[in-house]
Amino acid sequence: MRAIKPFTFHRPTLAESYCESLGGHGLADSRSGLFLAAPRRTGKSTFLREDMLPAMQKRGWTTIYVDLWADKSKDPALLITSAVKAKSGTFAGVIAKMAKSTGLEKVNVFGALSLNLDSLELPTGLTLADALEALVEAGKAPVAIVIDEAQHALSTQAGVDAMFALKAARDHLNQGSGQQGLFIVLTGSNRDKLAHLVLKRTQPFFGSQVTRFPLLTKDFTDAYTDFVNPLLANDNQFRHEDMFEAFKLVGHRPEMLRSIVGEIALDAGADHLGEALKNGAEEIKERMWGAMESEFAGLPDIQRAVLETIIDQGKNYVPFSEASMRAYANLVQQEKVSVPSVQAALDTLREKGLVWRAAYGDYALEDESMAGWYKTKMQG
């Protein structure tokens, strides 16, 4: 039997446009950093690994990829420095030679790095900016660091410090010669969370813009339909339009669409494929929304009021502002609520995985799709 290759869908034009913007050559200028937001499981990480990184490597850039959700038990700062150290390891011989041949000004950096390549942490006294500069010099090429789920860095002070260190490295490596030494791409599954990196003067990338990463469209589902149909009977094929409608119902999530198609394919007697697709997509959507509705209904009044206010105010949410305190009181039908009760509600919502908190006290929804459910189901 002929082996069937897994379905892949590439977006090389999009990857090239992002690389151009990182270099300041496109319509969008992302020399200060490219910040991409998209809901979870909509193909963002796959695009980064299969399209963005290869496009960068084709340009000769040294690439580093870090997924801050790969191991949530580790501090995000350690994951970032570990990835930089791992990439430095591929230049171990070069770095060792540079440690011997460079002047006094840099010998400490290269020497410390070459003696410490087996460790996950940077040597004492060596900054992330130092390590990235050493990597630029060792590779004789710009470094592009891509950090997926970057908002998770803000969950610890060390992670926040790592973001500021990246900014410092960018400022240092991109000044003077006119040539960029460091390209930064930060992505997140929640636009409001990612915005915590750029909105305020106290945030590491203040002044940059968060860009919404484009969802996969009918081009994707058409290609997937053309991949699937040859595996089916000639008189029982998926229609391109039906596949796209199902894809929209599951929030443009490729994995969920594949799951529905797989279940249909296992049913040897399945017919009316368009209807089966729609039913499967509706079932998944209702299951997701039902879980949210059940969790929401089970919350005590004050927790529900806090969650509703976060949804309503979005990125403008300030937990103890006059407007927020008034909103809580109205929702629980009391004259006023206390600051301690609101803080306790926020802490519990975080423990339940419904609310996310940055290290410096800002809050946002953990799962952005809950806002879509709430505004559709609860507000009509």
pLDDT tens-digit map of 170-189: 998 988 656 789 999 999 98
Which pLDDT does position 340 carry in this prediction? Answer: 97
Contact between 76 and 155 (Cβ < 8 Å): yes
Instruction: Could you please state the CATH topology (level 3) that the domain comprising 12-212 is classified under.
Output: Rossmann fold (3.40.50)
Which pLDDT does position 269 carry in this prediction? Answer: 54
Average pLDDT of span 3-18: 89
Strands (E), the chain: 34-37, 62-67, 143-148, 182-188, 210-212, 355-357, 363-365
Which pLDDT does position 1 carry in this prediction? Answer: 40
Average pLDDT of span 310-322: 93
Which pLDDT does position 104 carry in this prediction? Answer: 44
- How far is it, in rounded angstroms, from Cα 213 to Cα 15? 11
- Class of domain 299-378 (CATH, top level): mainly alpha
Average pLDDT of span 181-199: 90
pLDDT tens-digit map of 333-376: 999 999 999 999 999 999 898 998 877 778 988 887 888 889 88
| Of 54 and 27, the one with more pLDDT | 54
pLDDT tens-digit map of 30-55: 999 999 998 888 999 999 999 999 99
pLDDT tens-digit map of 143-160: 999 999 999 999 899 999
Residue 105 has pLDDT above 80, yes or no: no
Distances (CA, A) of 303 to 250, 310, 311, 320: 28, 11, 12, 14
What are 65's strand-pairing partners? 146
Amino acid sitting at position 138: A
Which pLDDT does position 109 carry in this prediction? Answer: 64
Contact between 32 and 207 (Cβ < 8 Å): yes
- How far is it, in rounded angstroms, from Cα 375 to Cα 307? 13
pLDDT confidence of 246, banded at 50, 70, 90? very high
Q: Return the minimum-mean-pLDDT range out of 88-97, 179-188, 322-331, 332-341.
A: 88-97
Q: Return the minimum-mean-pLDDT range out of 125-134, 264-273, 363-372.
A: 264-273
Q: Which residue has the tokens 């960018």?
A: 170
Which pLDDT does position 117 carry in this prediction? Answer: 63
- How far is it, in rounded angstroms, from Cα 8 to Cα 30? 28
pLDDT tens-digit map of 205-219: 988 889 989 999 999
Residue 377 has pLDDT above 80, yes or no: no
Contact between 369 and 251 (Cβ < 8 Å): yes
Query: What is the percentage of the chain residues whose pLDDT exceeds 90?
Result: 54
Which pLDDT does position 362 carry in this prediction? Answer: 85
Mean pLDDT across the chain: 88
